[in-house]
Amino acid sequence: MVRVDSKTLEVMTKRKRFLVEGTVQGIGFRPFVYRLALRYGLAGFVANDSRGAEIEIQGDDHALCCFEEAFYDELPPLANINNVQKTTLSPLIPKEPFEIRTSRAGNDTLAFVTPDANVCPDCLREMYDPKDRRYLYPFINCTNCGPRFSIIKKVPYDRPFTTMASFPMCADCESEYKDPMDRRFHAQPVACPSCGPKVWITDEKGIKLNVNDPLQVAGSWLRQEKILCIKGLGGFHLAVDARKDTAVRRLRERKWREDKPLALMVKDIEAAKKIVDLNSEEEELLKSTPRPIVLSGKNKAAGIAASVAPGVAEFGVMLPYTPLHYLLFDHSPSVLVMTSGNPSSEPLAYENEAAISRLQSIADGFLLHDRDIYNTCDDSVVRWSRDGEKLLRRARGYAPLPLTPKRFPVEQSLIALGPELKNTVTVTRKGQLVCSQHLGDLTNVSAVQAFKSSIERMINLLGVEPCGVVCDEHPQYFSTRYAKDEFGHLPLYRVQHHHAHMAAVMIEHDFEPEREVLAALWDGTGFGRDGTTWGGEFFVGGYLDFRRVAHTRPVPLPGGDGATKHPWRLATSVFHELGIDPRAKEVDWIDRQPLKDKDLLWTMLERGVRCPLSGGAGRLFDAAAAILDFDPQVTDEITYEAQAAIELEALCKNVPQTKKEGLLPFHFSRGELDLLPALFALFEQKARGVSVDILAAKFIDTAGWACGEVLREIFEKESCDTIVLSGGCFQNVRLADMVERICKNRGLEVYLPRAYPPNDGGVSLGQAAVALARRL
């Protein structure tokens, strides 16, 4: 027997520490490390800490190298590592067996809260295995999938602090839960038919039906063109057969949703390919862990009801993401409308009794279960453009993952309350900015109550005591008034709307606090510092402040904000600004208006009565849609926000880029970009018989070219070569691509929102960044 003294053993053995930052808690990370350590015969431990996880491993060089290689190659599906700090330590003699250690008290205060995740392949395989004890169980899950954010009440993410606390585990589930070698080790929602949630079906009044298989009955109702309300992961959906136009129209009538496109859920990827023209990137997005709604071009032979998405060129499609969805598709049509369970403009329903009360006038029946939802979370919406994924609505699957900038210090806890529309809230804590899920528009009492509740829950969940509150500069926004009324004891930071758009892109791309950019910020509306409405902005500045160096020419809004719902009014205002009376010309969009309406409108414009100026670039796209008048109903009155601009983009989806010589006229002088000549040229060219799809492309391309030229001219004066593009107008892929290409061709760096929406859904993030910079 060869005896090795302790000094020799120390030379042969090494010990390393890994401090892992990122999403590593509640997703099976510790058992993953445990299994790797056993595989390679290593000593040490793994434990959760305030940033993520701490690992110490001890063994010979070869074993340590194998561990590290496998560590990066075999990470759990839900793990997301931001940083790993490695340290070499002195080995322990004698070495201890590898173990999973419990977290020390208070160590979870900075841990990431993991988003909900789609059901994994292993759980699906078990669910469809007749020999498995979870055969056909609609709540099967493991550490690699299932509910997270939607059920958690506070950290640490342990079962007693989730809505699963009311379901005591049976002996079999508890054995899995306690076994580090099992896929369900510390899977907090683990359950089975013996001890877990149950599903049932009711009639339209919420009366439970005595049936053997609720999912089979649900599928049968959908085949009979009934409207079914389904409790899902983060809220309720309203579902109907997407190929039955009568059923879809009935859903629209009951939900008060006239034209806004409805989302589709398809049985599988093959069903998706039959209704949309997926490219490879869109297919990968559809199958990705967040399982978002992906916007993709319509397949005209799809057989989908015309009323699903009228006036647009794309369907919003998603795959099933819960076991219940998969089981439902075993009995239902292969393509379902799956739209949010709420009357239009109201927040998402998430409680059984409240859903029955609010939605019984819409639904013919309810598919319910008793796993409570604590945090509502709507479906996320993404679009693929030539340079990557763009989030348009950030919710399920993405929220509430934090942003963890490396070059911008985040040392204090603030709460930013966001804008009026597409509201989100951002809470900051050490090293993190946590943007909430999409909360919606703060336009009614129920939406306001949901907003208040979400703020309270975010503060409690993240364990912070804010030392400041941030709001928009608009004095009439509810979020602004709430900041003063509810948080009046805290320092208040007001951030101009478009400054927040700019800062959101800067913080997303981890710009340093002193960095300055040149930004084009185009949207429909934002309160300007001169008291007028801004929205076609060119700023030079950084986190602390900005200079407004240029803007689009403003136009009057006859009747105020009401004009934004009537594009023909905007077109009339443009003509008035150009000194032309459209009533004297043979123009359909003015001729069909009641005489008293158009005469009153013209009188208001002539006298300047109730005609506030709007510098919103979005209003110019609305006017263009009205002048082209390709959809008279939309010209006269839109039924959802930005409908005219969205349909304008859809109209020219397949039209090639306009050549430079074919662009419409515009002017830029003394800091003002005037696109009104382009709008009048649309009118003239349409009168000469140019097709409206060509003209739609010409206007968008001209706006993009003009924006790029203004940025170039400002750059030559300011010598700022970093370009930021944001605001709702840049959801228009054609416009964004044009501006980005022009700037890059001139050697400028261009940054757009990627992980956060360019629309107002990203404003709270920018508000927080500005306030943090002011406190540095």
Give every strand in the sheet of 432-435, ordered side by side. Answer: 432-435, 426-429, 415-416, 469-472, 492-495
User: Residue 102: which pLDDT band, with cuts at 50, 70 and 90?
Assistant: confident
Q: Quote the CA–CA distance of 508 and 515 in Å, as a whole number.
A: 13
Residue 1 pLDDT > 50, yes or no? no
Q: Quote the CA–CA distance of 120 and 143 in Å, as a whole number.
A: 10
Q: What angle do helix axes 676-687 and 567-577 make, rounded to 10 degrees? A: 100
Q: Quote the CA–CA distance of 469 and 458 in Å, as a whole number.
A: 14
Residue 3 pLDDT > 60, yes or no? no
Mean pLDDT confidence for 164-186: 96
Output the pLDDT for position 4: 42
pLDDT tens, position by position, 375-401:
999 999 999 988 889 999 999 999 999
Q: Which residues pair with 336 in a beta bridge?
A: 241, 265
pLDDT tens, position by position, 305-335:
999 999 999 999 999 999 999 999 999 999 9
The DSSP 8-state label assigned to residue 239 in this structure reads E
User: Residue 491: which pLDDT band, with cuts at 50, 70 and 90?
Assistant: very high
Residue 688 pLDDT > 90, yes or no? yes
- What number of residues does the chain have? 776
Residue 109 pLDDT > 80, yes or no? no
Residue 105 pLDDT > 60, yes or no? no
Mean pLDDT confidence for 202-230: 97
pLDDT tens, position by position, 278-313:
999 999 999 999 999 999 999 988 899 999 999 999
Instruction: Find out whether 253 and 240 touch, Cβ atoms under 8 Å.
Output: no
Residue 766 pLDDT > 60, yes or no? yes
| Tally of helices (H runs) and strands (E runs) in the chain | 24, 29
Tell me how far apart the terminal alpha carbons of the chain are, to the nearest angstrom.
65
pLDDT tens, position by position, 556-604:
999 999 999 999 999 999 999 999 999 998 899 999 999 999 999 999 9
User: Residue 27: which pLDDT band, with cuts at 50, 70 and 90?
Assistant: confident
Give every strand in the sheet of 335-340, ordered side by side. Answer: 199-203, 365-369, 228-231, 236-241, 335-340, 264-266, 314-318, 293-297, 381-385, 388-393
Mean pLDDT confidence for 689-694: 97
Q: What does the block give as tokens for 597?
A: 């309406």
Output the pLDDT for position 656: 96
pLDDT tens, position by position, 471-487:
999 999 999 999 999 99
Q: How far is CA 252 from CA 249, 255, 307, in A?
A: 5, 5, 9
Residue 104 pLDDT > 70, yes or no? no
Mean of pLDDT over the chain:
94
Give every strand in the sheet of 14-23, ordered side by side. Answer: 80-89, 14-23, 52-59, 43-48, 99-100
- Go through 740-765 and write b for each residue having 16 or more CB atoms within 10 A of its CB, e for each that does not: bbbbeeeebebbbbbbbbbbbbbbbb
Output the pLDDT for position 113: 83
pLDDT tens, position by position, 646-656:
999 999 999 99
Residue 359 pLDDT > 50, yes or no? yes
pLDDT tens, position by position, 614-638:
999 999 999 999 999 999 999 999 9
